[in-house]
Structure 1
Amino acid sequence: MKTADQNVHVTKEYIDTDGHISGMFIESTDLNNPVLLFVHGGPGFPQYANVKQAGLAWADHFTVCYWEQRGTGLSYNASTQGELTLERIVADGFEIVRYLKKKFNQDKIYLCGHSWGSLVGSIMASRQPEHFLAYIGVGQLGRHYESNRDTYDFLLETAIEREDKIAEKHIRSVKFTKDYYKSQEYRKLLSRYLNKYGGGTKREGYSSLEGVKDIIACKHYTWNDRLNILKGIFGSYDALGETLANADAAEKAPSFDIPVFIVHGVYDYQTSYKEAKRFYERIEAPSKQMYTFEHSAHSPFVEEQEKFMEVLVEDVVG
């Protein structure tokens, strides 16, 4: 099928990954372009609709695969998906990679992970580099506990700076502990203040409702697909929240045999800039580069699209 607004060829495809059907969208303007696999965040939050709505034009330069991970969206099936684990999702990722390499007759592809997807992507790129030309981490995860400690401090400091007494009182009333990922009160803090204070999905003008609207507006989803995204967001966090909370990406993926590019918004407090920089400094790679996006929070690839595309086209591909 073709999108109405651009000459982008879009296909919705499914493959068997160890007895479970995994789905993806593939977009391209030229099927001879290099292939880029995008690993979404969450866990359980496919980003195809959000990236499309933002108008990111990377399909002009790449054949882009938006894989939707086991347990959500196009890959949701409660009867076959089994227990959701990081290792199972990584294994699925390699199945997707092999499918793409064969389908497009390419020896190697590019790998881009965002947020939770940067944990999955880092492990994949570190573990089996023979599949990849380069790894791009956007909103790169470092240590999730320490990142959330930074988030909590940011919320409190911002409330004080803005003299937002109600918010300050609310934030102080919620104690940050090692069990933060289980705390409904802490999650309420994030929901109420992180986007409001410009440290969440975007630096400016974002609400969770916007993300839902993008999914509803995406014509390539059926209503069942949309429902499965909502199921997947909650179910994936319930299954993987503890794994995420204890994650240290640099420990899971300490070395790479391919070039690594880290793209991070300086205002990102969903995966903190400080922790992304620590990840970058700790890893070993034949070449590595970190790019600071000065006007972005957690989504520099849509917040500063021109700069992001320059990084991809001029530096990553070269």
Structure 2
Amino acid sequence: MPINHQTTITLNGVPQYVSIRAERDHLPLLLYLHGGPGDAALPIVLKYNSELEKHFTVVVWEQRGAGKSYYDFGDSTVTIATFLEDLHALVTLLTERYRQEKLYLVGHSWGSVLGLTYTEKHPEKVRAYVGCGQVVNMKKASRTGYEFAAAHAGKKALARLKKADCTYTGENWLDDLLFVTKQIVKHGGSLYGRTNYNPLVTPFLFSRYYSIPDLIRRQKGSLQAIKRLWPELMEVNFEGRTEYGAPVIFVEGRHDVHVSSALAKEYYDTIQTEKQFHWFEHSCHFPQWSEHEKFHTLMVDLLH
């Protein structure tokens, strides 16, 4: 019997939107952790990854403050640890409800910070962790992205880039971050074969699960999360952490400079426990969508 639960559940006192879909009962759980921070992705996952519902019970969580889970953070304390606590609450709820000891965890970009950290802390809950656009060392990745932008910039953009601080610690760090990111996208280092994010916006406009107010909330949630979490995110560095109690799989776009895939491969080579690495040759930062059929095949292969 097909499963399609679109629901709001309370995690650590905060209502958060969760989509749970499968073509039949009793399929293994797969939890998708979106990027950002604050960049909800439900309509894109439904568009490009719905094939997974034949083999998994696919759970897409719109994290606190993101998309359909938007609320004003106000003066509350919101840190990476807050999201990890939410994640653990959700994993516990799902595994109990569906009577499964473990689940598959897919983390993209910001979500890969949560996913890899969670796998290290709670391997008993993870069948396998799949990192797409895996974050390793944010300071190094930011420098790589900045250098790519500078190498491709025109005269006017280069003048602006020379004023930017790619450590994103200065007074104008948010403006610098948004400008550098825009340049990376413009010159094809983020979404393969594209110079804008239009293909990632369209699914939201036509999704039956997203209203116009939801779209507005998504924009507000993304900006709020970046403002609140980016300084802490810049301190993330997995280098030196080489052992995980569950299998770790990296899915990397060969041309990703948004979050350097070259850095991900260097780090992967240091991991001492069960692991796999997959290059997606026609992808940058979004291999799970740019080459969704290949991604689907890879995920199904994990079941065998």
Same fold (TM over 0.5): yes
Superposition pairs for residues 113-152 of structure 1, below 5 Å? 113-152=107-146
1:36 lines up with 2:30 in the alignment: yes
Contact 1:56 1:305 in 2 (8 A): no
Partner of 1:4: none
Partner of 2:103: 109
CA distance in 2: counterparts of 1:73 and 1:183, whole angstroms: 21
Superposition pairs for residues 54-69 of structure 1, below 5 Å? 54=48, 56-69=50-63
The one of 70, 80, 85 aligned to 2:79: 85
1:187 lines up with 2:175 in the alignment: no
Contact 1:70 1:84 in 2 (8 A): no
TM-score under structure 2 length normalisation: 0.91
Q: Aligned pairs, how many?
A: 303
CA distance in 2: counterparts of 1:308 and 1:113, whole angstroms: 13
- State the shift of 1:266 in Å: 1.1
> Is the partner of 1:249 in helix, strand or coil?
coil
- State the shift of 1:157 in Å: 2.5
CA distance in 1: counterparts of 2:120 and 2:25, whole angstroms: 27
Contact 1:45 1:229 in 2 (8 A): yes
Counterpart AA for 1:26:
I
> Is the partner of 1:22 in helix, strand or coil?
strand
1:293 lines up with 2:280 in the alignment: yes
Tell me: CA distance 1:249–1:31, structure 2 relative to 1, closer, same or farther (3 Å): farther
> Is the partner of 1:246 in helix, strand or coil?
coil
CA distance in 2: counterparts of 1:298 and 1:305, whole angstroms: 13
1:222 lines up with 2:208 in the alignment: no
CA distance in 2: counterparts of 1:176 and 1:225, whole angstroms: 32
- State the shift of 1:178 in Å: 5.4
CA distance in 2: counterparts of 1:183 and 1:238, whole angstroms: 7
- State the shift of 1:166 in Å: 4.2
Partner of 1:25: 19
1:268 lines up with 2:256 in the alignment: yes
* Identical counterparts, % of pairs: 28
- State the shift of 1:12 in Å: 1.0
1:64-117 deviations in whole A, cap 9, x for unaligned?
Answer: 100111121232233799322100100100111111112211111101100000
Counterpart AA for 2:264:
A
- State the shift of 1:216 in Å: 2.5
CA distance in 2: counterparts of 1:257 and 1:55, whole angstroms: 27
Consecutive unaligned residues of structure 2, counting only runs of 5 or more, are none
- State the shift of 1:206 in Å: 5.4
Partner of 1:313: 300
- State the shift of 1:312 in Å: 1.2
Counterpart AA for 1:184:
D
Contact 2:48 2:292 in 1 (8 A): no
1:294-314 deviations in whole A, cap 9, x for unaligned?
Answer: 110001111112221221112
Tell me: CA distance 1:24–1:282, structure 2 relative to 1, closer, same or farther (3 Å): same
Superposition pairs for residues 95-106 of structure 1, below 5 Å? 95-106=89-100
Consecutive unaligned residues of structure 1, counting only runs of 5 or more, are 1-6
CA distance in 1: counterparts of 2:206 and 2:16, whole angstroms: 22
The one of 140, 158, 164 aligned to 1:174: 164
1:241 lines up with 2:230 in the alignment: yes
CA distance in 1: counterparts of 2:167 and 2:81, whole angstroms: 26
CA RMSD of aligned residues (A): 2.3
- Answer with 84-93 or 276-285: which moved more: 276-285
